Amino acid sequence: MRYLSTRGGVEPVGFATAVMMGLGTDGGLLLPETVPRVGPDTLRDWSGISFRDLAVELMTPFVADAIPRTDLVELIGRSYAIFSHQEVTPLVQVGEQRVLELFHGPTAAFKDVALQFLGNVFEYLLARHGGRLNILGATSGDTGSAAIAGVRGKERIRIFILHPAGRVSPVQERQMTTVLDANVHNIAIRGTFDDGQRIVKDLFNDLDFKQQYHLGAINSINWARILAQIVYYFYAWGRMSRGDPGFRIDFAVPTGNFGDIFAGYMAKRMGLPIDRLLIATNRNDILTRFVAGGPYAAGTVHPTLSPAMDIQIASNFERYLYFLVGQDPETVRALLSDLDRTGRMEVTAEQRAALAEDFDAAAVSDAQTLDQIRETYQRHGYLLDPHTAVGVRAARHRADMVCLATAHPAKFNDAVHRAIGIQAPLPTCLRGLLEKETRCTLLDATEEAVRDHIRATLAAR
């Protein structure tokens, strides 16, 4: 399996190079050159196996040039051994809907599914080649803590994580800033997640700086993140289909940076019988407006009760855009140039029709989010975090949809308390966070400030 860039400026590379490169050297995002197809017999075979065994089978064609199967089995086993549920991502019935719980990892968020794996892959590849890596990422909340948990204490890795000061939940902030390992460096920026994402992309696009300081990506711009997330779409289908290759399924996905729902789209391209993927957004509804027929136009980032989705420019949308325009890098570059220059981009009527075939979309307000948390708890005794509540609300008239639960409700107890007057019990991984010592650096939201901080930190080490 070889990987190429959405912008066409990278010669096809193997899995190891793709993982270590993160963002393409041409500024694009990496994708497999071909998407393997999963036939009916394979679907039937996969439907009854464990999450770990499924991950091995699904990932093998994507990683075989870099990771032998026996090593992949060990990496996957180690990545998911610390999850609190034996199924890793269990599917539960909540009234008429099914909820796919993705929050049983060490930081109680869906990002753990990918980042425990990616952290171990980084360590494996670096040990084999004797290299070192300085990870740089931006987070709207959960990616940062999951990334830190995936690489803390690893000998050959240092990690720099940017989060928007005051725009993540107190628990999310403490999950990052209370990790005091010497290889962990937290940065709060005076700005938004989009500012942080822009800074990270600009630094990766400075190829001299990237190479000199051995920068690596752990945001969902890294293809390995998407690969790991594809697994739980197949797993959910297997738990519902009873091995029937003709069984069709729909998913509702709380959506911010488009990585989680793009994994579902890739599962569909691989042959998983998905009918509809529902993009569920909060007030920051650029994707909902686009699917509804409007332009892809960036606006102001509005703080909401679901802060991990407070995003305007969704990085992973570029991967979908590449497929939408017929895998034509020149068209991708032109559309993104329009977006950079004017703050908006338009697609053709034919492309818009294809978009409507792939996705539905709905936007959910804060008031509706609170109402959904309240309604689900009162009717079914089940607690939703505000992000999952956005997905459940968007799918409320679609009982056939599987709703992705992206975080444990205790990570957002302010919203839970506002909705129902009580707080969610803390899982073990969240207890005592607010009493722990913290370490974090506050910087202006500029490329120069972050660049200088990285230089100074690494020079001191």
SS (H, E, C) the chain: CCEEECCCCCCCECHHHHHHHCECCCCCEEEECCCCCCCHHHHHHHCCCCHHHHHHHHHHHHHCCCCCHHHHHHHHHHHHCCCCCCCCCCEEEECCEEEEECCCCCCCECHHHHHHHHHHHHHHHHHHHCCCEEEEEECCCHHHHHHHHHHCCCCCEEEEEEEECCCCCHHHHHHHHCCCCCCEEEEEEECCHHHHHHHHHHHHHCHHHHHHCCEEECCCCCHHHHHHHHHHHHHHHHHHHCCCCCCCEEEEEECCCCHHHHHHHHHHHHCCCEEEEEEEECCCCHHHHHHCCCCEECCCCCCCCCHHHCCCCCCCHHHHHHHHCCCCHHHHHHHHHHHHHHCEECCCHHHHHHHHHHEEEEECCHHHHHHHHHHHHHHHCCCCCHHHHHHHHHCCCCCCEEEEECECHHHHHHHHHHHHCCCCCCCHHHCCHHHCCCCCEEEECCHHHHHHHHHHHHHHC
- One of 111, 201, 210, 268 is an active-site residue; which one? 111
The question of whether 111 is a catalytic residue gets the answer yes
Catalytic residues: 111
